[in-house]
Amino acid sequence: MLTPASFGLAVVCIVPGLYTLALAFTHSSLGQPLAAWSGLGNFHALFQNPEFAQTLLRTVLYALPASFIQLSLGLLIALLLQALRQGQFVRSLVLLPLMTPPVLVGVAWKLLLAPAGGLVNGTLLRLGWIAEPVSLLGSDTWALPALALADTWQWLPFVVILCFAALQTLPADVFEAAALDGASTRGIFLKITLPLLAPALLGIFLLRVVMSLKTFDLVYILTAGGPGRATALASYEVWKTGLQNFDIGAAAAQTLLFSFAVAAVTWPILKALQWVERRTG
Amino acid sequence: MSYLPNTPTATLPPWQLLPSLKKLRLPWPRQRIWLRAALLAVLAFFILPLAFLVATSFKTRDEVLSGQFLPVRPTLANWPKVFEIAPLHWHLLNSLAVAVLSVLVTLTLAVPAVYAVVKLRRGPLLAGALLSSYVAPPVVALLPLFFLLRQLGLNNSIVGLGLVDGLMNVPVAFWLLRSFFKQIPLALDEAAWLDGVGYWRTLWRINLPLIWPGLVSTGLICLILSYNEFLLASVLNSRPDMRTITVAISLFQGERIVNFGQMAAASLVGIAPVYLLALAFQKYLIGGLSAGASR
Amino acid sequence: MAYQTNYRKNTMDSKDFTPFNRRRFLGTASALGAAGVLAACGKDPVPVTAAPASAPAPAADAKKYAGQSLNLLFNQPHAVAGKLLAEEFEKLTGAKVTVTPVPYDQLHAQATLDVQSGAHQFDVIDYFYHTLGALVADKVVLDVTDWIERDKAQIQPADFLPSLYDTYTLRDGRRWGLPYDGDTHVLFYNTEIFARHKLAAPKTWEDYYQAAKLITEKESANGIYGAAVQGFKIPVIVGSSYANRLAGFGGSFFTADGKPALTSPEAVAAAEELLRIVPYALPTPAETAFEHALPAFLSGKAAMIDFWTDLGVTAQDPKSSQIVDKWSLVQLPVGGKNTTPRAALNAGFGLGITTGTQKTELAWEFVKWATSKDISLQQDVLPGSGIDPNRTSVLNHPDYIKAAPLLQPQLKAAIGNALAWPLQAQSPKLMDALTEQLALIVAGKKKPKDALASAQASWEQLLKA
C422-431 pLDDT, tens digit each: 999 899 999 9
Cβ partners under 8 Å of residue B42, min gap 6 = A77, A80, A94
Give contacts of C 285-324 with A, CB under 8 A. 285-288, 291-292, 295-296, 299, 301-302
CB contact under 8 A, A19 and B143: yes
A71 vs C34, more confident: A71
Closest B-chain CA to A247: B140
Q: What is the CA radius of gyration of chain B?
A: 24
Judge whether B251 is closer than 8 Å to chain C, CB to CB: yes
Q: What pLDDT, on a 0 to 100 scale, did the predictor assign at position C110?
A: 87
Interchain contact, C295 vs B66, CB within 8 Å: yes
Summarised one tens digit per residue, pLDDT across range C224-269 is 999 999 999 999 999 999 999 999 999 999 998 889 999 999 999 9
Strand C96-102 to C69-75 pairing? parallel
| B199 occurs within a structural domain | yes
Q: Which of B62, B255, B256 sits opposite C298 (nearest CB)?
A: B62
Helix (H, G, I), strand (E, B) or coil at C411: helix
The residue-averaged pLDDT of C369-392 equals: 86
How many other C-beta atoms lie within 10 A of the C-beta of residue A57? 12
Per-residue pLDDT, C5: 38
| Confidence at C273, pLDDT banded by 50, 70, 90 | very high
% of chain A beyond a pLDDT of 70 = 97
Q: Which has the minimum average pLDDT: B140-154, B247-261, C262-276, C329-343?
A: B247-261
| In chain C, domain spans | 2-183+346-417, 185-344+426-464
* pLDDT tens-digit series, residues A81-96: 887 776 677 777 888 8
C103 touches chain B (CB under 8 A): yes
Q: Say if the Cβ atoms of A168 and B115 lie within 8 Å.
A: no
Please state the domain extents for chain A. Answer: 40-280
For residue B182, give Cα distances in angstroms to A234, A274, B34: 33, 12, 35
- In this chain, the answer to whether the domains covering C2-183+346-417 and C185-344+426-464 adopt an identical fold is yes
pLDDT bin (cut points 50, 70, 90) of residue A155 is very high
Set of chain A residues whose Cβ sits within 8 Å of the Cβ of C226 = none
Q: Report the pLDDT value the prediction gives residue B254, as an integer from 0 to 100.
A: 61
Dump the DSSP string for chain A: --HHHHHHHIIIIIHHHHHHHHHHTEE--SSSTT-EE-TTHHHHHHHHSHHHHHHHHHHHHHHHHHHHHHHHHHHHHHHHHHHTT--HHHHHHHHHHHHS-HHHHHHHHHHHH-TTT-HHHHHHHHHTS-SS---STTSTTTHHHHHHHHHHHHHHHHHHHHHHHHHHTS-HHHHHHHHHTT--HHHHIIIIIHHHHHHHHHHHHHHHHHHHHT--HHIIIIITT-STTTT--HHHHHHIIIIIS--HHHHHHHHHHHHHHHHHHHHHHHHHHHHHHHHH-
Number of B to C CB contacts under 8 A, please give it. 79
What's the pLDDT tens digit per position in C128-160?
Answer: 999 999 999 989 999 999 999 998 888 888 999
Tell me, what DSSP letter sits at residue C371? T
CATH domain C2-183+346-417 topology: D-Maltodextrin-Binding Protein; domain 2 (3.40.190)
Highest-scoring range by mean pLDDT, A189-193, C19-23, C432-436:
C432-436
On whether residue B23 sits in a domain, the answer given is no
**pLDDT mean over C166-188:** 91
Is residue C461 within 8 Å of C308, Cβ to Cβ? no
Residues of B in contact with A243 (CB under 8 A): 139
C284 part of contact set with chain A, CB < 8 Å: yes
According to the model, what pLDDT value does residue B66 have? Answer: 76
Chain C residues in contact with A140 by the CB 8 A cut-off are 443, 445
pTM above 0.90, yes or no: no
- Per-residue model confidence as pLDDT tens digits over A12-40: 778 888 888 888 888 888 777 777 887 78
Percentage, residues of chain B above pLDDT 90? 7
Contacts 24+ apart (CB under 8 A), C411-414: C411/C184, C411/C186, C411/C309, C411/C343, C413/C331, C413/C341, C414/C184, C414/C186, C414/C331, C414/C332, C414/C341, C414/C342, C414/C343
Q: Which of A55, A73, A103 would best serve as a mutation to test chain B binding (most B beta carbons within 10 A)?
A: A103
pLDDT in the model for residue B267? 84
ipTM of the complex: 0.86
Side chain identity at residue B69, one-letter code: F
Considering the domain boundaries, does residue B186 fall inside one?
yes
| CATH of segment(s) C185-344+426-464 | 3.40.190.10
Q: How confident is the model at residue C451 (pLDDT cuts 50, 70, 90)?
A: very high
**Which residues are within 8 A (CB) of C163 and not within 5 positions of it... i.e. 6 or more apart?**
C343, C345, C415, C416, C417, C418, C420
pLDDT, residue C51, reads: 39
Which stretch, A43-52, A169-178, C226-235, has highest mean pLDDT? C226-235
If one counts every other C-beta atom within 10 angstroms of the C-beta of residue C168, the result is 31
**Spatial distance between the Cα atoms of A184 and B294, rounded to a whole number of angstroms:** 27
Q: Alpha-carbon distance C135 to C424, whole Å?
A: 10
CATH topology of domain A40-280: MetI-like fold (1.10.3720)
8 A C-beta contact, residue C185 and residue C16:
no
| Residue B145 pLDDT greater than 90, yes or no | no
Cα–Cα dist B241/B90, whole Å: 7
Across B196-205, B284-293, C439-448, the highest mean pLDDT is recorded for C439-448
pLDDT in tens, B202-218: 778 777 887 777 888 88
Distance from CA of B131 to the nearest CA of C (A): 29
Residue B287 has pLDDT above 70, yes or no: no
**When comparing pLDDT for A71 and B235, which is higher?**
A71
Arithmetic mean of pLDDT, B2-25: 44
The CATH number linked to B217 is 1.10.3720.10
Put simply, the answer to whether A259 touches B176 (Cβ < 8 Å) is: no
Counting Cα atoms < 13 Å in the Cβ hemisphere of B155 gives: 24
Contacts by residues C337-340 (CB-CB < 8 Å, ≥ 24 positions apart): C337/C250, C338/C248, C338/C249, C338/C250, C338/C266, C340/C250, C340/C417
Interface of A with C (CB under 8 A): 29-33, 110, 114-117, 125, 132-133, 135, 137-140, 223-230, 240, 243-247
Query: Is the model's pLDDT at A260 over the cut of 80?
Result: yes
- What is the average per-residue pLDDT within B156-183? 86
B22–A99 CB contact, under 8 Å: no
Nearest Cα neighbor of C144 from C290, C316, C352 is: C352
pLDDT at B286: 55
Dump pLDDT digits (tens) for A88-133. 777 778 888 888 888 888 888 988 888 877 888 888 888 888 878 8
CB contacts of B60 in chain C (<8 Å) are 319-320
Count structural domains, chain B: 1
Neighbour count for residue A158 (Cβ, 10 Å): 24
The pLDDT of residue C182 is above 70: yes
Q: Among A159-168, B18-27, C109-118, C410-419, whose mean pLDDT is lowest?
A: B18-27
Which one is predicted more confidently, B18 or A251? A251
Which of the residues A86, A89, A100, A176 would you substitute to probe the B interface, choosing the one with the greatest number of B C-beta atoms within 10 Å? A100
Subunit contact B140:A161, Cβ cutoff 8 A: no
For A159-171, how does the pLDDT look when each residue is reduced to its tens digit (9 = 90+)? 998 888 888 777 7
Q: How confident is the model at residue B24 (pLDDT cuts 50, 70, 90)?
A: very low
Which domain range does residue B136 map to? 86-289
- Which chain A residues contact residue C140 at CB under 8 A? 31
- For B37-78, the pLDDT digits (tens) are 888 898 999 999 989 888 888 888 777 777 778 888 888 888
- Which is more confidently placed, B198 or C2? B198
Instruction: Let me know if C94 is exposed, middle or buried by CB neighbors in 10 A (0-12, 13-18, 19+).
Output: middle
Please state, in angstroms and rounded to a whole number, the distance separating the CA atoms of residues B158 and C462.
Answer: 41
Strand order of the β-sheet with C124-128 is C96-102, C69-75, C124-128, C349-353, C178-181
Question: Before C162, cis peptide (omega within 30)?
Answer: no
Q: Which chains touch C (3 or more CB pairs under 8 A)?
A: A, B
